[in-house]
A and B are shown apart, each in its own frame.
Chain A
Amino acid sequence: MSLPPRAHQLHVLACHACGMVLEDALDSTGHGRCPRCTAVLHRRRPNSIARAWALLIAGLLFYIPANVLPVMFTSRLGSGSDNTILQGVIEFWHGGSYGVALVIFIASVVVPCSKFVILGLLLITVQRRSAWARRERARLYRLVELVGYWSMLDVLVVAIVAALVKFQSLSDIEPRSGILFFGMVVILTMLSAMQFDPRLIWDSEDT
Protein backbone atom coordinates (compact mmCIF):
# COMPACT_ATOMS: atom_id res chain seq x y z
CA MET A 1 0.00 0.00 0.00
CA SER A 2 1.48 3.32 -0.96
CA LEU A 3 0.86 6.25 1.29
CA PRO A 4 -0.48 9.56 -0.02
CA PRO A 5 2.05 12.27 -0.94
CA ARG A 6 2.98 14.91 1.58
CA ALA A 7 2.47 18.62 1.08
CA HIS A 8 6.09 19.51 0.40
CA GLN A 9 6.39 16.81 -2.27
CA LEU A 10 3.59 18.52 -4.22
CA HIS A 11 4.98 22.00 -3.42
CA VAL A 12 1.86 23.03 -1.59
CA LEU A 13 1.15 24.00 2.00
CA ALA A 14 -1.99 24.23 4.07
CA CYS A 15 -2.98 27.35 6.00
CA HIS A 16 -2.78 26.46 9.70
CA ALA A 17 -5.79 28.61 10.50
CA CYS A 18 -8.36 27.79 7.80
CA GLY A 19 -7.00 24.67 6.09
CA MET A 20 -6.83 26.19 2.62
CA VAL A 21 -4.33 24.35 0.38
CA LEU A 22 -2.02 26.73 -1.50
CA GLU A 23 0.93 26.66 -3.82
CA ASP A 24 4.09 26.86 -1.66
CA ALA A 25 5.72 30.17 -2.60
CA LEU A 26 7.29 30.93 0.79
CA ASP A 27 10.83 30.89 -0.64
CA SER A 28 10.18 33.69 -3.11
CA THR A 29 7.76 35.80 -1.11
CA GLY A 30 9.11 35.24 2.42
CA HIS A 31 6.25 35.81 4.80
CA GLY A 32 3.16 34.92 2.86
CA ARG A 33 -0.37 35.35 4.08
CA CYS A 34 -3.34 33.13 3.37
CA PRO A 35 -5.44 34.77 0.65
CA ARG A 36 -8.60 33.41 2.25
CA CYS A 37 -8.22 34.13 5.97
CA THR A 38 -5.11 36.40 6.00
CA ALA A 39 -3.31 34.26 8.62
CA VAL A 40 0.49 34.11 8.34
CA LEU A 41 1.57 31.03 6.41
CA HIS A 42 4.27 28.62 7.48
CA ARG A 43 5.20 25.05 6.64
CA ARG A 44 5.84 24.10 10.26
CA ARG A 45 5.04 25.94 13.45
CA PRO A 46 8.00 28.31 13.90
CA ASN A 47 10.60 27.32 16.54
CA SER A 48 8.29 24.51 17.49
CA ILE A 49 10.80 22.32 19.36
CA ALA A 50 12.55 25.08 21.33
CA ARG A 51 9.28 26.70 22.41
CA ALA A 52 7.66 23.39 23.34
CA TRP A 53 10.71 22.45 25.45
CA ALA A 54 10.79 25.83 27.20
CA LEU A 55 7.10 25.68 28.13
CA LEU A 56 7.33 22.03 29.17
CA ILE A 57 10.33 22.62 31.45
CA ALA A 58 8.65 25.69 32.98
CA GLY A 59 5.58 23.54 33.63
CA LEU A 60 7.69 20.79 35.20
CA LEU A 61 9.35 23.30 37.55
CA PHE A 62 5.98 24.74 38.61
CA TYR A 63 4.69 21.24 39.27
CA ILE A 64 6.93 21.03 42.36
CA PRO A 65 5.39 23.98 44.31
CA ALA A 66 1.99 22.92 42.96
CA ASN A 67 2.28 19.68 44.93
CA VAL A 68 4.28 20.88 47.94
CA LEU A 69 2.35 24.06 48.73
CA PRO A 70 -1.23 23.94 50.03
CA VAL A 71 -3.96 24.61 47.48
CA MET A 72 -6.70 25.28 49.98
CA PHE A 73 -7.21 26.40 53.59
CA THR A 74 -10.19 24.90 55.41
CA SER A 75 -11.38 26.04 58.83
CA ARG A 76 -14.16 24.46 60.83
CA LEU A 77 -15.18 25.82 64.24
CA GLY A 78 -11.93 27.63 64.85
CA SER A 79 -9.53 24.88 63.85
CA GLY A 80 -8.03 25.37 60.42
CA SER A 81 -5.80 23.28 58.18
CA ASP A 82 -3.93 23.69 54.92
CA ASN A 83 -4.45 21.02 52.28
CA THR A 84 -2.28 20.01 49.35
CA ILE A 85 -3.68 18.31 46.26
CA LEU A 86 -2.65 14.84 47.41
CA GLN A 87 -4.10 15.40 50.89
CA GLY A 88 -7.40 16.22 49.19
CA VAL A 89 -7.27 12.94 47.29
CA ILE A 90 -6.45 10.99 50.47
CA GLU A 91 -9.29 12.69 52.34
CA PHE A 92 -11.81 11.54 49.71
CA TRP A 93 -10.33 8.03 49.78
CA HIS A 94 -10.63 7.74 53.56
CA GLY A 95 -14.14 9.18 53.42
CA GLY A 96 -15.16 6.28 51.20
CA SER A 97 -15.59 8.33 48.00
CA TYR A 98 -13.24 6.14 45.98
CA GLY A 99 -14.64 7.26 42.63
CA VAL A 100 -14.13 10.97 43.35
CA ALA A 101 -10.68 10.30 44.79
CA LEU A 102 -9.79 8.50 41.58
CA VAL A 103 -11.17 11.25 39.33
CA ILE A 104 -9.14 13.94 41.14
CA PHE A 105 -6.05 11.73 41.22
CA ILE A 106 -6.28 11.16 37.46
CA ALA A 107 -6.93 14.83 36.67
CA SER A 108 -4.25 16.27 38.97
CA VAL A 109 -1.52 13.64 39.01
CA VAL A 110 -1.85 11.08 36.20
CA VAL A 111 -2.72 13.56 33.42
CA PRO A 112 -0.01 16.18 34.16
CA CYS A 113 2.67 13.51 34.74
CA SER A 114 1.84 11.64 31.55
CA LYS A 115 1.90 14.96 29.68
CA PHE A 116 5.44 15.59 30.89
CA VAL A 117 6.53 12.08 29.88
CA ILE A 118 4.73 11.99 26.52
CA LEU A 119 5.70 15.50 25.37
CA GLY A 120 9.29 14.88 26.50
CA LEU A 121 9.34 11.59 24.59
CA LEU A 122 7.86 13.18 21.46
CA LEU A 123 10.35 16.05 21.55
CA ILE A 124 13.37 13.78 22.04
CA THR A 125 12.35 11.32 19.31
CA VAL A 126 11.62 14.15 16.86
CA GLN A 127 15.01 15.74 17.58
CA ARG A 128 16.72 12.41 16.92
CA ARG A 129 14.65 12.05 13.72
CA SER A 130 13.54 8.67 14.97
CA ALA A 131 11.47 6.37 12.75
CA TRP A 132 10.25 4.41 15.75
CA ALA A 133 6.46 3.87 16.12
CA ARG A 134 5.40 6.98 14.22
CA ARG A 135 1.72 6.13 14.21
CA GLU A 136 1.67 5.40 17.93
CA ARG A 137 3.53 8.63 18.65
CA ALA A 138 1.04 10.56 16.51
CA ARG A 139 -1.75 8.94 18.50
CA LEU A 140 -0.08 9.83 21.82
CA TYR A 141 0.06 13.45 20.72
CA ARG A 142 -3.65 13.49 19.94
CA LEU A 143 -4.30 11.91 23.35
CA VAL A 144 -2.37 14.72 25.08
CA GLU A 145 -4.40 17.32 23.16
CA LEU A 146 -7.65 15.55 24.08
CA VAL A 147 -7.18 15.08 27.83
CA GLY A 148 -4.83 17.95 28.71
CA TYR A 149 -7.40 20.53 29.77
CA TRP A 150 -9.20 18.22 32.22
CA SER A 151 -6.44 19.03 34.73
CA MET A 152 -8.12 22.40 35.29
CA LEU A 153 -10.57 20.40 37.41
CA ASP A 154 -8.79 21.06 40.71
CA VAL A 155 -8.57 24.81 40.08
CA LEU A 156 -12.30 24.99 39.43
CA VAL A 157 -13.18 22.82 42.46
CA VAL A 158 -11.18 25.15 44.73
CA ALA A 159 -12.91 28.16 43.12
CA ILE A 160 -16.38 26.73 43.70
CA VAL A 161 -15.90 25.60 47.32
CA ALA A 162 -14.09 28.84 48.22
CA ALA A 163 -16.99 30.87 46.80
CA LEU A 164 -19.56 28.82 48.75
CA VAL A 165 -18.08 28.26 52.19
CA LYS A 166 -17.97 31.75 53.72
CA PHE A 167 -19.37 31.39 57.24
CA GLN A 168 -16.65 33.33 59.09
CA SER A 169 -15.82 31.58 62.37
CA LEU A 170 -18.17 28.65 61.76
CA SER A 171 -16.49 27.47 58.60
CA ASP A 172 -14.40 29.03 55.88
CA ILE A 173 -12.46 27.90 52.82
CA GLU A 174 -9.80 30.01 51.10
CA PRO A 175 -7.59 29.36 48.07
CA ARG A 176 -3.84 29.04 48.74
CA SER A 177 -0.84 29.69 46.49
CA GLY A 178 -0.41 26.03 45.44
CA ILE A 179 -3.44 26.31 43.20
CA LEU A 180 -1.83 29.19 41.31
CA PHE A 181 1.20 27.01 40.52
CA PHE A 182 -1.01 24.09 39.61
CA GLY A 183 -3.07 26.23 37.24
CA MET A 184 0.15 27.49 35.66
CA VAL A 185 1.27 23.87 35.12
CA VAL A 186 -1.96 23.13 33.24
CA ILE A 187 -1.69 26.26 31.08
CA LEU A 188 2.04 25.83 30.36
CA THR A 189 1.69 22.18 29.35
CA MET A 190 -1.30 23.02 27.14
CA LEU A 191 0.75 25.75 25.44
CA SER A 192 3.67 23.33 25.08
CA ALA A 193 1.43 20.76 23.35
CA MET A 194 0.09 23.49 21.04
CA GLN A 195 3.61 24.58 20.10
CA PHE A 196 4.71 21.05 19.26
CA ASP A 197 4.18 20.36 15.57
CA PRO A 198 3.06 16.73 15.02
CA ARG A 199 4.11 16.96 11.34
CA LEU A 200 7.71 16.77 12.60
CA ILE A 201 7.10 13.13 13.58
CA TRP A 202 6.79 12.29 9.87
CA ASP A 203 9.53 14.54 8.52
CA SER A 204 12.25 11.92 8.91
CA GLU A 205 10.37 9.65 6.49
CA ASP A 206 12.11 10.94 3.38
CA THR A 207 15.69 10.55 4.59
Chain B
Amino acid sequence: MSGDGLKTFPEWVVCEHCDSVYQRVALANGQVARCERCLALLYRASSLDTERWLALTIAAAIMFMIANLCPVVRISLQGLHNEATLWQSAAALAHGPAAPIAVPAALSIIVVPFLQIALLGWILVFARRKRRAPGFATAMRMLVVLRPWSMVEVCMLGLLVAIIKLSSFMEVAPGPGIWAMAVLMILITIIANRDIHWLWEMVEVEPPQPESQA
Protein backbone atom coordinates (compact mmCIF):
# COMPACT_ATOMS: atom_id res chain seq x y z
CA MET B 1 0.00 0.00 0.00
CA SER B 2 1.41 3.37 -1.00
CA GLY B 3 0.19 5.00 2.20
CA ASP B 4 2.46 2.90 4.38
CA GLY B 5 5.40 4.61 5.98
CA LEU B 6 3.74 8.02 6.09
CA LYS B 7 4.27 9.92 9.28
CA THR B 8 1.00 10.42 11.14
CA PHE B 9 0.02 13.02 13.74
CA PRO B 10 -2.72 11.46 15.85
CA GLU B 11 -2.60 14.29 18.40
CA TRP B 12 -3.46 16.89 15.75
CA VAL B 13 -6.78 17.81 14.24
CA VAL B 14 -7.38 19.71 10.99
CA CYS B 15 -10.49 21.82 10.44
CA GLU B 16 -12.54 20.24 7.63
CA HIS B 17 -13.71 23.64 6.46
CA CYS B 18 -10.50 25.67 6.24
CA ASP B 19 -7.49 23.37 6.85
CA SER B 20 -6.36 25.04 10.11
CA VAL B 21 -4.24 22.73 12.26
CA TYR B 22 -4.77 22.36 16.03
CA GLN B 23 -3.52 20.24 18.88
CA ARG B 24 -6.30 18.01 20.13
CA VAL B 25 -7.27 18.88 23.71
CA ALA B 26 -9.51 16.92 26.02
CA LEU B 27 -12.92 18.54 26.47
CA ALA B 28 -15.17 18.53 29.50
CA ASN B 29 -18.69 17.23 29.05
CA GLY B 30 -20.80 19.49 26.86
CA GLN B 31 -17.85 21.51 25.59
CA VAL B 32 -17.19 21.99 21.90
CA ALA B 33 -14.02 22.96 20.06
CA ARG B 34 -14.41 25.59 17.36
CA CYS B 35 -12.03 26.64 14.63
CA GLU B 36 -10.53 30.09 15.28
CA ARG B 37 -10.21 30.86 11.60
CA CYS B 38 -13.63 29.92 10.19
CA LEU B 39 -15.64 29.26 13.41
CA ALA B 40 -16.72 25.78 12.21
CA LEU B 41 -17.19 23.02 14.75
CA LEU B 42 -13.98 20.99 15.14
CA TYR B 43 -15.16 18.31 17.53
CA ARG B 44 -17.33 17.97 20.59
CA ALA B 45 -17.04 16.10 23.85
CA SER B 46 -18.72 12.74 23.56
CA SER B 47 -21.20 12.19 26.33
CA LEU B 48 -22.11 8.74 25.05
CA ASP B 49 -20.06 5.62 25.79
CA THR B 50 -20.26 2.68 23.42
CA GLU B 51 -22.64 0.71 25.68
CA ARG B 52 -25.26 3.49 25.66
CA TRP B 53 -24.62 4.23 22.02
CA LEU B 54 -25.27 0.59 21.13
CA ALA B 55 -28.40 0.50 23.31
CA LEU B 56 -29.81 3.54 21.50
CA THR B 57 -28.89 1.98 18.14
CA ILE B 58 -30.86 -1.16 19.04
CA ALA B 59 -33.79 1.03 20.12
CA ALA B 60 -33.56 2.82 16.76
CA ALA B 61 -33.58 -0.55 14.96
CA ILE B 62 -36.81 -1.54 16.73
CA MET B 63 -38.42 1.83 15.97
CA PHE B 64 -37.30 1.51 12.37
CA MET B 65 -39.07 -1.86 12.09
CA ILE B 66 -42.31 -0.53 13.59
CA ALA B 67 -42.20 2.59 11.42
CA ASN B 68 -41.81 0.46 8.31
CA LEU B 69 -44.21 -2.38 9.08
CA CYS B 70 -47.14 -0.32 10.38
CA PRO B 71 -49.11 2.18 8.32
CA VAL B 72 -48.11 5.79 9.01
CA VAL B 73 -51.38 7.45 7.95
CA ARG B 74 -54.98 6.23 7.59
CA ILE B 75 -57.70 8.03 5.66
CA SER B 76 -61.39 7.51 5.11
CA LEU B 77 -63.74 9.12 2.63
CA GLN B 78 -67.45 8.31 2.41
CA GLY B 79 -67.11 4.89 3.97
CA LEU B 80 -63.97 3.94 2.03
CA HIS B 81 -60.74 3.44 3.95
CA ASN B 82 -57.12 3.37 2.97
CA GLU B 83 -53.74 3.41 4.69
CA ALA B 84 -50.13 3.67 3.60
CA THR B 85 -46.75 2.55 4.88
CA LEU B 86 -43.46 4.30 4.12
CA TRP B 87 -42.64 1.76 1.44
CA GLN B 88 -46.01 2.22 -0.25
CA SER B 89 -45.43 5.98 -0.24
CA ALA B 90 -42.12 5.64 -2.05
CA ALA B 91 -43.64 3.05 -4.40
CA ALA B 92 -46.54 5.39 -5.24
CA LEU B 93 -44.04 7.66 -7.01
CA ALA B 94 -42.95 4.76 -9.22
CA HIS B 95 -46.25 4.85 -11.12
CA GLY B 96 -46.56 7.53 -13.73
CA PRO B 97 -44.25 10.02 -15.39
CA ALA B 98 -42.11 10.81 -12.32
CA ALA B 99 -41.11 7.17 -11.73
CA PRO B 100 -37.30 7.62 -11.38
CA ILE B 101 -37.73 9.88 -8.33
CA ALA B 102 -39.09 6.86 -6.41
CA VAL B 103 -35.51 5.61 -6.08
CA PRO B 104 -34.03 8.58 -4.18
CA ALA B 105 -37.24 8.84 -2.16
CA ALA B 106 -36.98 5.21 -1.03
CA LEU B 107 -33.26 5.63 -0.40
CA SER B 108 -33.58 8.73 1.76
CA ILE B 109 -36.42 7.59 4.02
CA ILE B 110 -35.89 3.79 4.16
CA VAL B 111 -32.61 2.42 2.78
CA VAL B 112 -30.15 5.02 4.09
CA PRO B 113 -31.57 5.10 7.66
CA PHE B 114 -31.54 1.28 7.63
CA LEU B 115 -27.89 1.19 6.54
CA GLN B 116 -26.93 3.78 9.15
CA ILE B 117 -28.50 1.74 11.94
CA ALA B 118 -27.10 -1.57 10.66
CA LEU B 119 -23.55 -0.29 10.12
CA LEU B 120 -23.43 1.51 13.47
CA GLY B 121 -24.78 -1.56 15.25
CA TRP B 122 -22.16 -3.73 13.57
CA ILE B 123 -19.32 -1.34 14.47
CA LEU B 124 -20.47 -0.82 18.05
CA VAL B 125 -20.98 -4.51 18.89
CA PHE B 126 -17.25 -4.95 18.30
CA ALA B 127 -16.18 -1.54 19.60
CA ARG B 128 -17.54 -2.19 23.08
CA ARG B 129 -14.98 -4.98 23.31
CA LYS B 130 -12.34 -2.58 21.95
CA ARG B 131 -12.17 -4.45 18.69
CA ARG B 132 -12.50 -3.47 15.09
CA ALA B 133 -15.41 -5.09 13.33
CA PRO B 134 -14.65 -6.88 10.05
CA GLY B 135 -14.98 -4.23 7.36
CA PHE B 136 -14.58 -1.48 9.98
CA ALA B 137 -12.87 1.01 7.63
CA THR B 138 -15.45 0.54 4.86
CA ALA B 139 -18.33 0.84 7.32
CA MET B 140 -16.89 4.05 8.82
CA ARG B 141 -16.39 5.58 5.38
CA MET B 142 -19.92 4.60 4.34
CA LEU B 143 -21.40 6.28 7.43
CA VAL B 144 -19.72 9.55 6.44
CA VAL B 145 -21.07 9.30 2.88
CA LEU B 146 -24.59 8.28 3.95
CA ARG B 147 -25.14 11.01 6.53
CA PRO B 148 -26.35 13.85 4.27
CA TRP B 149 -28.82 11.52 2.50
CA SER B 150 -30.70 10.38 5.59
CA MET B 151 -34.03 12.26 5.64
CA VAL B 152 -36.13 10.81 8.44
CA GLU B 153 -36.86 14.29 9.84
CA VAL B 154 -37.88 15.62 6.43
CA CYS B 155 -40.19 12.62 6.03
CA MET B 156 -41.73 13.36 9.44
CA LEU B 157 -42.50 16.94 8.38
CA GLY B 158 -43.81 15.59 5.06
CA LEU B 159 -46.23 13.31 6.93
CA LEU B 160 -47.55 16.25 8.96
CA VAL B 161 -48.00 18.39 5.85
CA ALA B 162 -49.76 15.52 4.05
CA ILE B 163 -52.13 15.03 7.00
CA ILE B 164 -53.04 18.74 7.02
CA LYS B 165 -53.39 18.79 3.24
CA LEU B 166 -55.83 15.85 3.15
CA SER B 167 -57.77 16.74 6.29
CA SER B 168 -59.55 19.54 4.41
CA PHE B 169 -61.60 17.06 2.39
CA MET B 170 -61.44 13.70 4.15
CA GLU B 171 -60.95 12.11 7.55
CA VAL B 172 -57.30 11.54 8.37
CA ALA B 173 -55.88 9.65 11.33
CA PRO B 174 -52.25 9.02 12.24
CA GLY B 175 -51.26 5.33 12.05
CA PRO B 176 -49.04 3.57 14.59
CA GLY B 177 -46.05 3.95 12.29
CA ILE B 178 -45.99 7.73 12.65
CA TRP B 179 -45.26 7.54 16.39
CA ALA B 180 -42.40 5.14 15.76
CA MET B 181 -41.21 7.53 13.03
CA ALA B 182 -41.19 10.43 15.51
CA VAL B 183 -39.10 8.45 18.02
CA LEU B 184 -36.83 7.18 15.24
CA MET B 185 -36.23 10.79 14.15
CA ILE B 186 -34.90 11.65 17.61
CA LEU B 187 -32.89 8.43 18.03
CA ILE B 188 -31.23 8.63 14.62
CA THR B 189 -30.21 12.23 15.34
CA ILE B 190 -28.56 11.09 18.57
CA ILE B 191 -26.81 8.02 17.18
CA ALA B 192 -25.85 9.07 13.65
CA ASN B 193 -25.41 12.86 13.74
CA ARG B 194 -22.45 12.76 16.08
CA ASP B 195 -18.73 12.86 15.74
CA ILE B 196 -17.69 9.33 14.83
CA HIS B 197 -13.99 10.15 14.37
CA TRP B 198 -13.10 9.10 17.88
CA LEU B 199 -14.21 5.52 17.20
CA TRP B 200 -11.04 5.26 15.14
CA GLU B 201 -8.88 6.16 18.12
CA MET B 202 -10.92 4.18 20.62
CA VAL B 203 -10.51 0.91 18.79
CA GLU B 204 -7.03 1.68 17.52
CA VAL B 205 -5.32 -0.98 19.57
CA GLU B 206 -2.97 -3.83 18.80
CA PRO B 207 -4.73 -6.72 17.09
CA PRO B 208 -6.25 -8.85 19.87
CA GLN B 209 -3.87 -11.48 21.21
CA PRO B 210 -4.92 -15.06 20.64
CA GLU B 211 -6.54 -16.13 23.87
CA SER B 212 -4.97 -19.55 23.98
CA GLN B 213 -1.49 -18.27 24.67
CA ALA B 214 0.78 -20.61 26.48
Interface of A with B (CB < 8 Å)? 1, 3-8, 10, 12-14, 16-23, 25, 29-39, 41, 76, 92, 95, 97, 100, 103-104, 134-135, 138-139, 141-142, 145, 148-150, 152-153, 155-167, 170-171, 174-180, 183-184, 187, 190, 194, 198-199, 201-202
Contacts and interface: CB of A to CB of B under 8 A. Distances in A.
B2 A29 contact: yes
Minimum-distance CB pairs A-B, first 5: A156-B158, A14-B14, A163-B92, A23-B7, A163-B84
A194 B148 contact: yes
A158 B94 CA distance: 12
Interface of B is mostly: mixed
B20 interface: yes
Nearest to B8: A22
B6 interface: yes
Q: Which of A4, A153, A156 has the most CB of B within 10 A?
A: A156
B17 A138 contact: yes
Contact of B21 (A4, A103, A104): A4
Given A4-B22, A161-B162, 12 more contacts: A12-B9, A12-B14, A16-B16, A18-B144, A21-B8, A22-B6, A32-B3, A76-B169, A135-B38, A157-B161, A164-B75, A170-B80
A158 B91 CA distance: 11
14 contacts: A4-B20, A20-B8, A95-B168, A149-B151, A156-B109, A158-B93, A159-B90, A164-B162, A175-B93, A176-B96, A176-B97, A194-B148, A198-B18, A198-B38
A38 B2 CA distance: 10
Given A3-B37, A21-B21, A180-B98, A165 B82 contact: yes
Contacts of B3: 22, 32-35, 38, 41
B39 interface: yes
A164 B197 CA distance: 42
Contacts of B93: 155, 158-159, 162, 175, 179
Interface in B57-89: 72-73, 75, 77-78, 80, 82-84, 88-89
A142 B18 CA distance: 12
Given A25-B6, A100-B161, A164-B166, A201 B77 contact: no
B148 A138 contact: no
B154 interface: yes
Contacts of B12: 12, 21
Interface residues of B, number: 74
A139 B154 CA distance: 23
Interface stretch (B45-53, B99-107, B116-124, B206-214): B99-107
A199 B37 CA distance: 11
Q: Which of A21, A167, A179 has the most CB of B within 10 A?
A: A21
A150 B97 CA distance: 23
B133 interface: no
A7 B73 CA distance: 51
B40 interface: yes
Contacts of A163: 84, 88-89, 91-92
Given A103-B161, A156-B154, A158-B93, A167 B77 contact: yes
Q: Which of A8, A95, A163 has the most CB of B within 10 A?
A: A163
Interface in B133-158: 137, 140-141, 144, 148-149, 151, 154-155, 157-158
Contact of A161 (B4, B38, B166): B166
Contacts of B8: 20-23, 35-36
Given A179-B101, A180-B101, A3 B20 contact: yes
A21 B9 contact: yes
B77 A171 contact: yes
A34 B16 CA distance: 16
Contact of B164 (A100, A159, A174, A184): A100
